[in-house]
Structure 1
């Protein structure tokens, strides 16, 4: 199973929509999670069809901010168990391949109080999970000072709160391949700030079910301040078998 998670910061931007479509056709994900769509359902639905997905769950933005979209192909059966402006919690099944039993998609609020309420809701969800669980998105939080470069250091209390939330839910960071940071404010030095706030988390059961799972951190041509996360639950590094070709220059050597 392949997934994409991206804080696209507005699907109405032509470059963003084009890059998203290209990544979908290149990576062929079975499921896509988008944050900060900033568009009503009608527009998001139209783009979903252009990207080749069959089903959807859309959370409209509040005013000009926010908005979530979950798209998936009909090879999956996705049940929405809980939905809000920051969380979409689902159970997933497929007759074609193995999937995590539960996937929770998160767009962490920027306000400290709202973010703590969001973590409380995910903690409540975790109390009922006994099988494989994947949790991914833009958490708007970091787990150590090493995950931020530039600007004012993150308050230790905020880091501790996030790490406590992850520990309570019995999750662990799944890491990723690519750039160390997933977000940049795109300002000129010395005001440039980098952070690792987009991530995928999984429980022990997920690790046991998908030991080869890989997460890739991809920068889609600066269409957004955030990088795109591409998750392959069953990753296989295929090597291309090249045909043998005789070089004419070899004939000049004994």
Structure 2
């Protein structure tokens, strides 16, 4: 199974949509997760469908950040403004969970995001893959430039 996770920023731009269609045609993923779409869910649905994905869910952006979309050939479990959780049915009867996740860029909202992941962890018996943009790092050497990350926050992650 091919999965594409893309922090797309600016899908309202026709050039970005053309690039997106080209990449999807080239790689032909079965599941596509978009973060920071920054367009309303109706426009995102139109873009998603124009890319050949009739099934999906589009979550509205808040203010100047966010916006999520997941296109699939799978079963939707649940979703919020920072995640979309599904069960994937593969040929041969194998099932597994897939969660597209976008962590808040604001450190004061991260505890809530980690608690959500803990709750999701306990919701099912299938193997589980979480992917996306957590907006956090595990080790300080992963960050280049800017202010150093708080060691406690990295440990919580």
TM-score scaled by length of structure 2: 0.90
Structure 1, residues 154-182: CA drift from partner, whole Å, max 9, x if none?
Answer: 111111111xxxxxxxxxxxxxxxxxxxx
Task: Tell me by how many angstroms 1:19 deviates.
Answer: 1.8
Deviation at 1:99, TM superposition (A): 5.8
Aligned match of 1:41: 41
Q: Deviations over 1:204-234 (max 9, x none)?
A: xxxxxxxxxxxxxxxxxxxxxxxxxxxxxxx
**Aligned counterpart for 1:140 among listed residues 128, 135, 144:** 135
Give the deviation of 1:22 after TM superposition.
1.2
How far does residue 97 in structure 1 lie from its aligned partner after superposition? 5.8
* Inter-partner Cα distance in structure 1 for 2:99 and 2:110: 16
Deviation at 1:37, TM superposition (A): 1.0
Q: Deviation digits for residues 21-44 of structure 1, max 9, x if unmatched?
A: 111011000110001111122211
Q: 5+ unaligned residues in a row in structure 2: which ranges?
A: none
Matched, 1:18 2:23: no
Structure 1 residue corresponding to 2:85, chosen from 89, 94, 108: 89
Verify the 8 A CA contact 1:108 1:139 in the aligned structure 2: yes
- Trace 1:200-239 onto structure 2 (pairs within 5 A): none
TM-score (norm 1): 0.58
Higher normalized helix content (fraction of residues): 2
How do 1:20-169 and structure 2 match up within 5 A? Answer: 20-72=20-72, 76=73, 78-94=74-90, 96=91, 101-162=96-157
Mark the structure with the bigger radius of gyration. 1
When residues 152 and 70 of structure 1 are mapped into structure 2, their CA distance, relative to the original with a 3 A threshold, is same
